[in-house]
Structures are given as C-alpha cells and as structure tokens.
Amino acid sequence: MSAFDKLVTASLPLVPKPIVRRVAAPYIAGEHRDDLLRVAADMNRSGYAVAAAILGEFVDRREEATHAVEEYASLLRSLSEHSIDAYIHVKPTHLGLKIDREFCLENVRALLDTAKPLGLFVRLDMEDSPCTDDTLAIYYKVREDYDNIGVVIQSRMRRSLDDVRELGKVKANIRLCKGIYLEPHAIAYTDPEIIRRNFTLLLEEMLDAGCYAAIATHDEILVWEAYRLLERYKVPHDRYEFQMLLGVTAPLRQLIRDAGHRIRIAVPYGPNWHAYSLRRLRKNPAITGYVLKSFLSGKG
Ligand SMILES: Cc1cc2nc3c(=O)[nH]c(=O)nc-3n(C[C@H](O)[C@H](O)[C@H](O)COP(=O)(O)OP(=O)(O)OC[C@H]3O[C@@H](n4cnc5c(N)ncnc54)[C@H](O)[C@@H]3O)c2cc1C
C-alpha cells in the first residue's frame, strides 16, 4: 500500500457522512426496497438484467441474519410481482456464516425455498479467504437439492484453479471476478497482470467444463479476452453473461449490450450503506482511488 493509500484509508472515518453518501450514491440504489425496484426497472428498460443485493456483511447476532433472510425473501417476492429481470446475490457472512456454518446453511436453504417456486436464482458471493472453504461447502451441500444456486471464484486467489476444476465437475454456475479483498501473497496473487492472466485461464477452464460463466469485470482487456474465448468455444448466448457494478464504466457496459451479449448489473441497496461504503473503501485502496477521483472531478 502506498503512503497516499495509507493516508486516504486512515482518513476515511473522518469524512463526513453526507460526503460519503454523495460519493457512494452512484454505486447504491438507495436505502429502501422501493429504491432497488425503481433502479432495477430502469436497468431492465435499458436492456440490462440485475443482480440485487442488500448491503450487509459479517453480522455477529442471529437476529441480524434472520432479519436479512426476511428482507431477502420479501425482495424475491417483490421482484417476481414486478416482473423484474433480476436475481439476488448474498454474502454468506450476512446470513450468519461467522456465527455458525449450519445456521448460515439453513438460511441459504430458506432463501432457495422462497426463490425456487418464483423461478428465481440465488448467488453466494465470495468474501475474504477465511470464508472460502465454508462458502464452497455450503454451495456443494445445497447444490445436492437445488439448481437455482451459483457461486463466485476470485482470480486473485492461488487456489482458484483447483476450485474451478472441482466446480467444473458439477457444471456450476460461476461468477468469475478478480476479487476485492486484499489477501496475503502466500495465498493470493498480488501482481495485477497475473490476476488478469489467471482470470483468462479460469474462464477458459470454466467454458471448457461447460459451466455457466458470469464474467464480472470492468477491465476492457478481460472483456476482449472473454469475447475471444466465447468465440473460440462457440459458447451459446444462454451459457454466459457479463456482469458489472452499478455506476461503474457505463460506456463499456453499453458497448457489451450493443454487441448483443447479455449483461447484468449488480445493484445494492439498504440502510447499511455507510458502514458498507467505509469497509469497502478501506479494504481496497485502489477502489478508494476511483471513488476519490470521481468525487474530486465533480461526478460524485
Ligand atoms: C457483478 C460483480 C460482482 C462481484 N462480486 C464479487 C465477489 O463476490 N467477491 C469479490 O471478492 N469481488 C467481487 N466483485 C469485485 C471484483 O472482484 C473486482 O474487485 C472489481 O470488479 C474490480 O475489478 P475489475 O475486473 O473491474 O478490474 P479493475 O482493473 O479493478 O477495474 C477496471 C476499471 O474499472 C473501473 N472500476 C472498477 N471497479 C470500480 C469501482 N468500484 N468504482 C469505480 N470504478 C471502478 C476503473 O475505471 C478501473 O480502471 C464483483 C464485481 C462485479 C462487477
């Protein structure tokens, strides 16, 4: 981490809440479910599918996880009632992974039970490395009974090639991303070029194994690499999609949409935007850099 990054990270708690709110605004639908429904409907009208999430992570009280399950269940029903083209993605630690894995597993099952009759899909996000084994264990367990579940692989992690090869055996629906959490060099690549090349390698493994590929990146080189591999493997349009975050690289997402590829935008909402924004900014100073840049340039 550079001296500037350290300074920015250390100063984050001093930034007044309204400024953090303004800076975070393009990336978050709002505080309420109605905000999510409005932004998601707008996205659908513009030709994008949506991945909806409630902001929250690392809860340490059972009531918080139970509340998250209830809110997610209501969200699933609202998405269905409003015929919005969306699925949900959830952080296992929001559903109590750090409290008790079995408790989290039951919460994931509850969501899948709600989603299944509505024809909706649930993706388990991948969090930092202490969560990886437990998240994959939950995925494999529920995969025995449900097909409306997907998982995430991070190209930053050294273990990911082995994980993709295992997931390939069950033709998992995988979202591939670089990974937002800064991890020790012993278990993660830290060179951006290796993280990129590993992304391409993992995507090729996924396509070769017949996995559904959700290609989550704003990095145009990786979008180009994905086009190349999709062409080479003659992947049908219903076997892959691109994914991006709300508020990030809108021109690139338009190019992908206009080229005829399915693309899904991750849209988060909820009252926990402040804690989430600070945690996210602190976790990755590179993102802090983007955020400050957009704030200072007046786009925040
Ligand atoms: C739909 C989706 C789901 C994700 N799920 C997970 C997950 O479950 N687990 C996980 O660890 N990570 C997740 N990520 C985050 C991901 O791992 C990366 O941290 C993030 O996407 C940045 O990597 P990149 O491939 O876009 O490349 P980068 O090189 O980081 O970014 C390319 C360009 O995109 C722009 N950019 C990227 N991110 C931002 C941002 N936040 N704000 C403003 N500009 C930005 C910048 O202009 C940058 O130059 C997800 C990302 C997406 C898009």
Tell me, in angstroms, the distance from the centre of ligand 1 to residue 216's CA: 7
Percent of the chain with pLDDT over 90: 80
User: CA of 38: how far to CAs of 29, 42, 56, in Å?
Assistant: 8, 6, 20
Secondary structure of residue 285 in the 3-state scheme: helix
- Name residue 124's beta-bridge partners: 90
Report the mean per-residue pLDDT for the chain: 92
Q: Among 187, 245, 246, 263, which is best to mutate for testing ligand 1, by the most ligand atoms less than 8 A from CB?
A: 245
Is a pLDDT exceeding 90 seen at residue 3?
no
Q: Among 55, 151, 178, which is best to mutate for testing ligand 1, by the most ligand atoms less than 8 A from CB?
A: 178
Q: Which of 33, 125, 196, 264 is catalytic?
A: 125
Is a pLDDT exceeding 70 seen at residue 285?
no
Is a pLDDT exceeding 90 seen at residue 81?
yes
Q: What pLDDT band is residue 180 in, cutting at 50, 70 and 90?
A: very high
Instruction: Check pocket membership of 217 for ligand 1, CB cut-off 6 A.
Output: yes
Residue 125 annotated among the catalytic residues of the structure: yes
Percent of the chain with pLDDT over 70: 89
Q: How far apart are CA 130 and CA 135, in angstroms?
A: 9
- Decide: residue 63, CB within 10 A, 0-12 exposed, 13-18 middle, 19+ buried: exposed
Is a pLDDT exceeding 90 seen at residue 148?
yes
Degrees to nearest 5, angle at CA 238 with 206 and 29: 90
Q: How far apart are CA 277 and CA 11, in angstroms?
A: 14
The pLDDT tens digits for 223-257 are 999 999 999 999 999 999 999 999 899 999 999 99
Secondary structure of residue 260 in the 3-state scheme: coil
Secondary structure of residue 216 in the 3-state scheme: strand
Residue 253 annotated among the catalytic residues of the structure: no
CB 148 within 8 A of CB 122: yes
Which of these, 169, 187, 69, 72, lies nearest to 133 by C-alpha position? 187
The pLDDT tens digits for 86-99 are 999 999 999 999 99
- Name the helix (H) or strand (E) containing 151: strand 149-154
pLDDT at 8: 64
CB 284 within 8 A of CB 12: no
Angle, helices 160-169/192-209, rounded to nearest 10 degrees: 10
Q: How far apart are CA 228 and CA 196, in angstroms?
A: 15
- Name residue 282's beta-bridge partners: none
Q: Is the dihedral of CA 38, 31, 125, 93 positive or negative?
A: negative
Count other Cβ atoms within 10 Å, centred on residue 41: 16
- Name residue 244's beta-bridge partners: 265
Which of these, 173, 116, 188, 115, lies nearest to 139 by C-alpha position? 173
* Residue linked to tokens 């998250």: 68
Instruction: Check pocket membership of 58 for ligand 1, CB cut-off 6 A.
Output: no
pLDDT at 299: 44
